[in-house]
Structures are given as structure tokens and as C-alpha cells.
Structure 1
Amino acid sequence: MIREKIIIEDIAITLERKNIKNMYLRVLPPNGEVKVSAPLFLSDEDISNFIKSRKEWILKKQELILKNGISAPLKYKNGEKHEIWGKTYALQLIKNTTTKRVLVDEERNVIYLPVPPRSTIEKRKNILDEHYRAELKHALPEALDKCCKIVGKTPTDIKVRKMKNWGNCNQNGVITLNLNLAKKRPICLEYVLIHELCHLIEFNHGKKFKKLMDKFCPNWKEIKKELNE
């Protein structure tokens, strides 16, 4: 592979020439870096023409990334930053078979992640996700008891899993929480619990529901904004 930095139409590009058949273009978060993979036999002129033809798309993609603060995909590697209950830690991989659980050093702000040899990103992610699941389940009894007393309602059951929303409540009274809440400040967990408990009174998100939220969690709008950043 041959790698070089080039500029075409005022766009800085990392060009990688490889033994491939087709050309590939990527605009990457968090800073909109442009990467092009091109076949070894392709001429400079062909590469330049390709970039020029995609200039408008590149600029729009860069604007989208920067405007929305889109982060680079996590790779779960040494030194990468991860959060537990709103506090930031550096990840440190432990490549052995003796340590089976995630260890957190509060003084050094380090998460020690036990991984098997030649572990994949997905495997490392799953190991850390299970730690988040355990953290959330450990925090739930106290938080749920507090929020149930505030709202005056109790769910029939409560579950933790990966999901797109922070939480939901079905008509049978079962509340499901996103395990990623363990990354956020504890006040965020309380907000989501109050939100879902309010659905046991008012199932939709209309005016009555918002009045309930104003009553039971006066700063809910600020917490919601923090959650969605």
C-alpha cells in the first residue's frame, strides 16, 4: 500500500493506493477527514477527476459531521475514552485469561477490560456492554424506589437491554431501559424512570403528560437535552 497526502479543489485528502479494483471515498468523523482508496494502476488525473465530481457531496458530508458533532466509531482500544455514570475513563485492555470481569480504577480513571487474544471490536464492545448492564441493574433498586415514591406508580416489571430509545413502557406496565444509561449521570436514569412511570398515568406525550413531568421532574427538559447530546 502507498499512502500520501494530496489537495484537490482545496480539499485535503489522504490517498491510499492499494491492490484493489475500484476506488472508494470516505468522509470520516469527528473532523470530516477525507480518505480515498484507489487502485495502483489508476492515474493521478483519474483520481483528481473523481474527487472533483464528488466535491459537493464531500462538502455536505463534512458540514453534517461538524455541525452535528458526530463522533468517530469506537474501537475499544487502549487509551480510548469511555464513560460510566457521567465520569470519563481511559480504556486499558487486559490480554489474559485469568481476569474475567471489568475492573474500574476510580483514582486513576481507568477501565481495565479483560479480552481474549486477537479479540474483535465487537467482542470488546460486548464485554463492556455487559459491565454497563451490571452497573445499571445494581443502581436500579434504589433509583426505582425513589422515582416510584415521586410518581406514585410502580411498574409490573423492569428490563435492561440494548435499544434505540432511552426507555419505554408498554401498556402492561413493563418498563425497559437502555443499558447505555449507565454511561450517563445518575440524574439521567432518574429522569428516564420518572418519564416511563408517568406513562402509567398518561400513555401519550400530550399536554397532560408534560404537566406530569413538570410536576415530578421540574428540570426534565434540561436533562433530556443532556441525554440527547
Structure 2
Amino acid sequence: MKKETKIIEDITITLERKNIKNMYLRILPPYGEVKVSAPLFLSDEDITNFVKSKKDWILKKQKYIIENDIKAPLKYSNGEKHYLWGKEYTLQLISNDTIKNVLIDDEKSVMYLPIPKRSTIEKREKIMNEFYRAEMKKAIPPVLDKCSQIVGKKPSEVKIRNMKNWGNCRYHDKRITLNLKLAKKDPICLEYVMIHELCHLIEFNHGKKFKKLMDTYCPNWKKIKKMLNE
């Protein structure tokens, strides 16, 4: 595989020539890097014409990625930045058959991720998610107690899942589910989401009554919500 950098129509691309049949174009976050994979037999002229034909799409895609602060997918590799309760850590992989859980060095701001032999991104992600799940299990009881006293409502159960939303509430059985990745955020975010879901035990939708409840029980909820989604 041969890799080179080219500038075509003021667009910098990383070109990889591979033993493939078709040409592929990718725009990668977080900075809109342009990568082109091309068959070994394809001429420079064909590649240039291909990129030129996609120029408008490339610029539009780059603008979207930058303006929306799209993050690159995590690879769980050395040097990546990961978070625990709002604090940033540098990931360090360790090969160790006896250590199974993520370790934290607060002094050095390092997060050690033990990896099995032939580890894949999926396996590393699973280990990290289980770590965040364990952190959430420790954090939830005191937060639930505090927030239940504030709102005056208690759920029948609090579950932890890896999901798209930060939390949800099933009104009919009073079950609350929280996103395990809340463990990445500042602890105040967990309190905000907990209060949010407890308020749904009073008012199911997000209308004026619900917002009034949030204003009462979590006066700075709009500020915390913005922090949570950054």
C-alpha cells in the first residue's frame, strides 16, 4: 500500500493506492481530513478528475464536520483523551492477564486500559463501558437519594445502559434508565439527568409544566444541559 499527499483544487488529500477495484472517498472528523483510496492501476489524471467532481460535496462535508464539532470515532489507543467525572485522562494500554479492570492514576491523569491478546476496538470499548457502568453503580445511590428528596418522587428501579439518550423514564412502571457514559461527565450532570427523569414521574412530556418543575428543582438546568451536550 502506497500513501501520499496531494493538493487538488486547493483541497489537500491523503491518497492510498491499494489492490482494490473501486475508488473511495472519505471525509474524516474532527478537521475534515480528505482520504482517497484508489486502485493501483488508476492514473493520477483519473484520481484528480474524481476529486474535482466531488469538490462541492467535500467542502460541504468539511464545513458540516467543523461547524458541528463532529468527533473522530474512538480507537482506544495510546494517547487518546478519555474522561471520568469531567476530568480528562490520557489513555495508556497495558497488556496484563491478571488485571481486568481500568485503573486510574489521578496524579498523572492517566487511565490504564488492560487489553487481552488480539484485542479489537470492540473488545476495548466493552472493557471501558463496563468500567463506566461500575462507576455509575457507585455514584447513583447517593445521587438518587438526594434528588428524590428534592423532587419528592422515587422510581421503582434505576437501570444503566449504553444508549443514545442521556436518560429516559417509563411513566407506567416508574422505571428510570441512565446512560452509562454519564460517568464521563461532571457529576452535576448526573444530578441534572436524575432530576429530569424524576420530574417525568410528575409530568411525562416536556411542556410548560415540566419546565416549571425543572426551574423549581434544578434552577440552573439549562446551563448544565448545555455543559452535558458539549
Q: Superposition pairs for residues 27-38 of structure 1, below 5 Å?
A: 27-38=27-38
Residue 128 in structure 1 maps to residue 165 in structure 2: no
- Residue 217 of structure 1 is matched in structure 2 by 218
- Does the 8 Å contact 1:19/1:39 carry over to 2? yes
Measure the CA separation in 2 of the matches of 1:168 and 1:186: 18
Deviations 1:136-172 (A, max 9, x none): 1100110000000000000011100111100000021
Cα RMSD (Å): 0.7
In the alignment, residue 118 of structure 2 is paired with which amino acid? R
- Residue 114 of structure 1 is matched in structure 2 by 114
Measure the CA separation in 2 of the matches of 1:212 and 1:39: 60
- Does the 8 Å contact 1:23/1:38 carry over to 2? yes
Show structure 1 runs of 4+ deviating over 6 A. none
- Residue 186 of structure 1 is matched in structure 2 by 187
Measure the CA separation in 2 of the matches of 1:200 and 1:187: 21
Q: Superposition pairs for residues 7-156 of structure 1, below 5 Å?
A: 7-156=7-156
Kindly tell me the number of residue pairs found equivalent between the two proteins: 229
**1:19 Cα offset (Å):** 1.1
**1:100 Cα offset (Å):** 1.5
Q: Superposition pairs for residues 164-183 of structure 1, below 5 Å?
A: 164-171=164-171, 172-183=173-184
**1:97 Cα offset (Å):** 0.4
SS at match of 2:6: strand
**1:71 Cα offset (Å):** 1.1
TM-score by length of 2: 0.98
SS at match of 2:76: coil
Deviations 1:3-36 (A, max 9, x none): 1111111100111111111100001011111010
**1:94 Cα offset (Å):** 1.2
TM-score by length of 1: 0.99
Deviations 1:78-97 (A, max 9, x none): 11110000000011111120
**1:56 Cα offset (Å):** 0.6
Deviations 1:172-211 (A, max 9, x none): 1000000000000000000000000001111110000000
- Residue 204 of structure 2 is matched in structure 1 by 203
- Does the 8 Å contact 1:96/1:117 carry over to 2? no
SS at match of 1:176: strand
Measure the CA separation in 2 of the matches of 1:13 and 1:206: 48
Identity of aligned residues (%): 72
Measure the CA separation in 2 of the matches of 1:79 and 1:5: 25
Measure the CA separation in 2 of the matches of 1:131 and 1:188: 18
Deviations 1:31-68 (A, max 9, x none): 11101010111011111110111011100000001001
